[in-house]
Amino acid sequence: MLTETLVEIFTRDLNKLKIEIEGYKNEENLWLVDKEITNSAGNLCLHIVGNLNHFIGAILGHSGYIRQRDLEFSLKNVSKTELLQQVDDTIDLVENVLEKLSAADLEKQYPLVLFKEPMSTEYFLVHLTTHLSYHLGQINYHKRLMDS
């Protein structure tokens, strides 16, 4: 079923996120920005965690998570240890919520209208995997530019 595939992809890519964050030789470099690079790896990590906790945890899993999106991009100097813990917690949350979804749940309309038109939960969950992948690539590039 698609939920098994989604769990596998989210888990794979969130574990890759951990590897990227762990790979910074200098923890302070997680927060660097320069010229056209306006989002630090630390802020992108917080954004990924906030995004998944909101759209999967709060909306689908009724976790009670309250997103503070502005802080995802303004908060600085969160420790590497804390970032990694947040990613681990997000992996657990995503697995727990998605494993409870049935095929019928995936076919239902996602509870929020985000792209001007209603979409299925299945469609939006696939979108979230590509969103994660996009930012994971940005973090990889950031690390090669800012932590060499």
- As beta bridge partners, residue 109 has 120
Q: Residues 79-94: pLDDT tens digits?
A: 999 999 999 999 999 9
**HSE on the CB side for 29, CA within 13 Å?**
17
* pTM exceeding 0.75: yes
For 2-146, which CATH class?
A: mainly alpha
Domain boundaries, the chain: 2-146
* Statement: residue 1 has pLDDT above 90: no
d(CA 88, CA 48): 12
Q: Residues 129-141: pLDDT tens digits?
A: 999 999 999 999 9
